[in-house]
Amino acid sequence: MTFIDYSNEEKSNKSSATKEEKATTTLPEDASQWGYDMYPERKGTSSGPYKKSRSITDYLSGKGRDNIDKIRCERNVYKCVKESPLVKLMMGALRSSGCGLDIRRHIACEECAPQVSGGYDPIMNQVIVCHNTAKNEGIVQGVLTHELIHMFDYCRNDLDFKNLDHLACTEIRAANLAHCSFMSAWMSGNASVFNIKETHQDCVKSKALSSVLAARSGISKTEAINAIERVFPKCYPDLEPIGRRLRRNSYDMYKAYEEGYYYGYDIP
C-alpha cells in the first residue's frame, strides 16, 4: 500500500538524499483521501509533524503497551534486514540505483489501522511496518518486500503517486512480486491446475485493487479497476528487481537473491 506524494518538484535526481530534500512534512488538507487516516502516527501533532500524542487514559486502557509491540517489530525488521534474501535483495537493488537505505531513517514501526499491515510514505520516503498487525517475522518480511518495491519504483521510475495509473502500476508490481502465488490461490479455493496463469493474474489484480482503494479513498471502484486494466499489460511482466514470481514453499527467493549479483546489485 502507498500514500500520495505531495512534492511538486521534478524527480530529476535519483539519489535518496535528493528525494528527502524534495519531501515536504506538510500533510495534505484532506489526509483521509490519500490513506493517511490508516496511519494515525503520520498525522499527529505532538513533538513533530508525524508524532501522535497519547493521553493518560490511553495508557490506563492498555494502549501504552504498544511500545512492547514496537520493540518486537523493530527486532523483526532488523532480523529481516540481516537474514531475509528478499529484503537484502531489495536493499541491494536500491543501493545500486543510487537510493541507499538506512533502516533507522527509512523504516518505521508504527501503530496503524487494523486493516493494514504496512505502507510507503513518499513524502518522507519511508516504509511503515504496522507493529499492531505485523506481529511476526514472516509478515514483516512480506511487508518490507512489498513496500520496498514501491520505494524502488519511486527511486527508479519517476513514479508520481498522484497519477492513478502510476499508483496502479506499482501496486500491480508489488502484488505480483511479493504476494500472489499459485499455492495461496489454491488454498483459498480459487485455483485449479487448468488455470494457473489466469488465477495468478486475478490474484494480482485483486490485491492491487484493494491497495489502490485503500490509498485513494476519493475514487470509485470502477475508476480503480479501469486504471489497473489500462496498465496491467505493461506492469505485470515487469519483474525487476526480484526477477521472478515467487512460488510458495519453494527456493525461489534464494534463487532471486543469488541472481541479483548477475544484475550488478550491491547485495550484502
Active site residues: 147
Query: What cell was used for 86?
Result: 528478499
Q: CB–CB of 202/190 below 8 Å?
A: yes
**Overall size of the chain counted in residues:** 268
Strand partners, 128: 108, 119
Whole-number Å distance between alpha carbons of 123 and 139: 24
Q: CB–CB of 5/160 below 8 Å?
A: yes
Strand partners, 163: none
Q: CB–CB of 241/88 below 8 Å?
A: no
3-class SS of residue 111: coil
Whole-number Å distance between alpha carbons of 110 and 118: 9
